[in-house]
Chain A
Amino acid sequence: MVKNLNEKESLELITRMIDNTRKGIEKNAALPMLIFGYTSIVTTLAVWFAVIETKNYMFHLLWIAIPVIGWLLYGLLGRARTRRDGMSQSHMGSLIGKIWIFLAVVMMLCMVPAFLLRGFPASFIMTLLAAIGVSCTGLLVRYAPLIICGILGVLTSFVLLWVTGITIMVVLAAAFAVMMVLPGHILHHAANKKSENNA
């Protein structure tokens, strides 16, 4: 069936469809923040606990769990969502994805000198890179909580330069909570609220 619209209905339809599509994009943007945020916190606390209990620094190899478990969960949840809602890719989402892939590769490269060089400030660099990623995402999607949480992450990363010993893990977990989990929940809640108001 093809229904023709009058001019006013056409403009309303365009506005509604564009608005609904943007809300969907916002809701999707929260998922990677929450998955990687929680995975990072759990991994950080696991490394902290394992090193304190065993004094074996080989447990730092557990850091690899962040990209492995993060991508695995993201892939599984993303596939379930695609099966249900279909697949879409926004220009902005594509750009943000490329920025995060670049940052993730740099973070992985930073893990090499972290194991080879004594005193290499890996925690500072990783947190700074993640915080820059969060801030850039916020600036691109023009979402204030992401920008603010990203800036807080940048500030926390500098605190890591002064914190020494295993306590650094606790600060690191707090940084992940502030710059990824918190804005992820704010974004998810805001997108859900908009959807409810629209229904």
Chain B
Amino acid sequence: MLNQLDPLLHSELRLAVMSVLVTLEEADFVYLQERTGASSGNLSIQLDKLQNARYIEIEKTYKGKKPRTVCRITQKGVEAFRAYVEALKGYLDV
């Protein structure tokens, strides 16, 4: 029987963000926006959803006078991502 795909990860932008963060220790908002090509508003909303699910943690700091949002994947996020990829492989018979 095939595992069900995590609906939170089964969307283009959230999956793109998780794929970037799983490769890195941390990344800021500008970097994620540059990598995903998303608008600020949309990216903000999707990051909040991932944070609410505790897949990522968000730290809001300042660099000089400029605000900076740093995102990191959590252990729960890594496990969810791994399970999602395994489920995908099952669907595609890879």
A, B co-complexed:
yes
Taking CB as reference atom, which chain A residue is nearest B46?
Answer: A2
Checking B23, B33, B46 against A18 with a beta-carbon cut-off of 8 angstroms, the contacting residue is B23
* Residues of chain A with a CB closer than 8 A to B10's CB: 4-5, 10
Are A10 and B15 in touch, CB under 8 angstroms?
Answer: yes
A105–B32 alpha-carbon span in the complex (Å):
34
Query: Does A20 belong to the interface (CB within 8 Å)?
Result: yes
Stretch at the interface among A34-42, A82-90, A133-141, A175-183: A82-90
Are A17 and B16 in touch, CB under 8 angstroms?
Answer: yes
Contact A87 to B30, CB < 8 A, known contacts A14-B19, A17-B16, A17-B19: yes
* Residues of chain B with a CB closer than 8 A to A82's CB: 30
Interface size on B, residues (CB 8 A): 36
Query: Does A196 belong to the interface (CB within 8 Å)?
Result: no
Main SS at interface, chain A: helix
Taking CB as reference atom, which chain A residue is nearest B32?
Answer: A86
Query: Does B42 belong to the interface (CB within 8 Å)?
Result: yes
A14–B17 alpha-carbon span in the complex (Å):
9
Interface size on A, residues (CB 8 A): 29
Main SS at interface, chain B: helix
Interface residues of B in 5-45 (CB under 8 A from A): 5, 10-16, 19-20, 22-36, 42
Query: Does B85 belong to the interface (CB within 8 Å)?
Result: yes
- Count of A-B contacts judged by CB separation below 8 Å: 93
Interface residues of A in 1-38 (CB under 8 A from B): 1-5, 7-11, 13-14, 17-18, 20-22, 24-25
> B50-94 CB contact bits vs A (8 Å, 1 = yes)?
000000000000000000101000000000000011001101101
Interface residues of A in 82-111 (CB under 8 A from B): 82, 85-91, 93-94
Are A88 and B26 in touch, CB under 8 angstroms?
Answer: yes
* Residues of chain B with a CB closer than 8 A to A93's CB: 25
Are A2 and B12 in touch, CB under 8 angstroms?
Answer: yes
B contact residues vs A (CB 8 Å cutoff):
5, 10-16, 19-20, 22-36, 42, 46, 68, 70, 84-85, 88-89, 91-92, 94
5 closest A-B pairs by CB: A86-B31, A86-B30, A17-B19, A88-B27, A3-B12
A contact residues vs B (CB 8 Å cutoff):
1-5, 7-11, 13-14, 17-18, 20-22, 24-25, 82, 85-91, 93-94
Taking A14-B88, A90-B23 as given, write out 4 further A-B residue pairs in contact, using a Cβ cutoff of 8 Å, ordered by the A residue number: A8-B92, A17-B20, A82-B30, A86-B34
